[in-house]
Amino acid sequence: MTRPEKINLTCTHCGHNWDQPTAPLVAQKAVIYRGDKTVKRRATCPNCHRWVTVQLPAEYFDHE
């Protein structure tokens, strides 16, 4: 699966919708166990600056 340049997220705190670059989310190493389909990552809402978590497909990390 090709990793998109950005993903669309909606903040669960303030409802703000934004396009989050994927590069910073997959930049850190992740231990992906066999069978894992997703990897949890944190993103900061650019509006309220609070954290939300998002489950990214494990395939996005194959490029790193």
Kindly list the residues in this chain that would bind other proteins in the complex (CB under 8 A): 4-13, 19, 42-43, 50-56
Q: Tell the smallest beta-carbon distance from residue 27 to other proteins (Å).
A: 15
Phi-psi category of residue 5: left, alpha or beta, with phi > 0 → left and psi -120 to 50 → alpha: alpha
Closer Cβ to other proteins, 4 or 24, answer by number:
4
Residue whose token pair is 């894992």: 36
Q: Tell the smallest beta-carbon distance from residue 16 to other proteins (Å).
A: 11
The helix (run of H) or strand (run of E) holding residue 26 is helix 23-27
Closer Cβ to other proteins, 48 or 64, answer by number:
48
